[in-house]
Copies of this chain bind each other. A is one copy, B any other.
Amino acid sequence: MKSQQELFDLFLRELKKERKKIDNASPKGLYKPVSYTLDMGGKRLRPVLVLTGANLFSENIEEALPAAIAIEVFHNFTLLHDDLMDNASVRRGKPTVHLKFNPNTAILSGDAMMILANEYLANSPAEKLPELLKLFSRTALEVCEGQQYDMDFESRMDVTVDEYIEMIRLKTAVLIAGALKLGAVIGNAPEQQANLLYDFGINIGLAFQLQDDWLDVYGDPNVFGKKIGGDILSNKKTFLLLKAQEKLQGEKKEQLQNWITKETFLPEEKIEAVTQLYNDAAVSDEAQKIMRHYHEEALKCLAKLEVEETNKKDLTELADQVMSRIS
């Protein structure tokens, strides 16, 4: 089995080839933002997972390249439209498309990326295409559902932890799971094996998002790469906030509520006070506990996978990353 680095390189070579075609396509106003977005970099986690899923069951990973490109183009399309909807100004250190170009360009070029993703997918092995297209479309639709729930939650005051987990399952986890399963299907995995990989993906996807939430409050700013406390300042309904609202009682519950509704405050002061309330509610432990749970569930899926143990190493390492920075 190829190493993750080899799969990454293979994917990047293919992406480069496709980007060259996009660079030459007209009208430029439509395709330049597509190329700009695909050139922003990133870990390319999802396309490498497509190739990994395929390679676990087959040596013929070339067949999985179109689906890998499709997943990456789709993922970048969601970032492009999400940034527009959230009015975000920076993505991977660069101006977002709606600012560098304009909002209409962001809408239309995003649409084009969604369509391009399907066009790439169409180059997958013909006999697999019905299953692949259904899985890809269902996954993509669920990502939209997750984004909608996320937007709905902003104005709702009664979001439960369970609802939050379902939201991140849709918004984040299904795409990781779908990437692995697309690869497995292309690699001729038996259905039950492909579904185990899907479940593995859901579990690590959930754990990764929860880790993101946790790092935003408890992470080392030098390692995290973002400022600590951003979610606290924007009252983002993360696992930590929802769990604290659930667990705190009386005066402390009220204090948390006050911080959430307060219109003017010193940022540092709010971060410190809310973090203290999180500590009072011991939500860091709660988060670590649930992350451990998803990590264990992920490993159980891997254990049932009927491939050589040495070939499970990369996915085990990926799952372990979930636990590596949170204690």
A interface list, Cβ under 8 A from B? 26-27, 29-30, 81, 84-85, 104, 107-108, 110-112, 114-116, 118-119, 121-122, 126-127, 129-130, 133-134, 136-138, 140-141, 144-145, 147-149, 151-152
A30 touches B145 (CB 8 A): yes
A29 touches B115 (CB 8 A): no
In the complex, chain B residues whose CB is within 8 Å of the CB of A137: 115-116, 118-119, 122
What distance in Å separates the Cβ of A146 from its nearest Cβ neighbour in chain B? Answer: 9
Apart from A115-B137, A122-B130, what 20 extra A-B contacts exist at CB < 8 Å?
A26-B145, A27-B152, A81-B111, A85-B104, A104-B151, A108-B144, A108-B147, A108-B151, A111-B114, A111-B144, A114-B114, A118-B118, A118-B136, A119-B133, A119-B137, A121-B133, A122-B134, A122-B137, A129-B130, A129-B133
Q: Please classify the interface of chain A as helix (H, G, I), strand (E, B), loop, or mixed, using the class held by over half of its residues.
A: helix
In the complex, chain B residues whose CB is within 8 Å of the CB of A121: 133
User: With A84-B107, A119-B137, A122-B134 known to touch, is A30 a contact of B148 (CB < 8 Å)?
Assistant: yes
Return the chain B residue nearest A124 by Cβ.
B130
Q: How long is the Cα–Cα vector from A122 to B122 in the complex, in angstroms?
A: 11
B119 touches A107 (CB 8 A): no
B134 touches A119 (CB 8 A): yes
In the complex, chain B residues whose CB is within 8 Å of the CB of A145: 26-27, 30, 112
From B84, B108, B147, contact of A148 by CB (8 A):
B108
What distance in Å separates the Cβ of A73 from its nearest Cβ neighbour in chain B? Answer: 12
Q: How long is the Cα–Cα vector from A30 to B141 in the complex, in angstroms?
A: 10
Return the chain B residue nearest A125 by Cβ.
B130
B151 touches A29 (CB 8 A): yes
A133 touches B118 (CB 8 A): yes
Return the chain B residue nearest A77 by Cβ.
B111
In the complex, chain B residues whose CB is within 8 Å of the CB of A130: 122, 126, 129
What distance in Å separates the Cβ of A169 from its nearest Cβ neighbour in chain B? Answer: 13
What distance in Å separates the Cβ of A35 from its nearest Cβ neighbour in chain B? Answer: 14
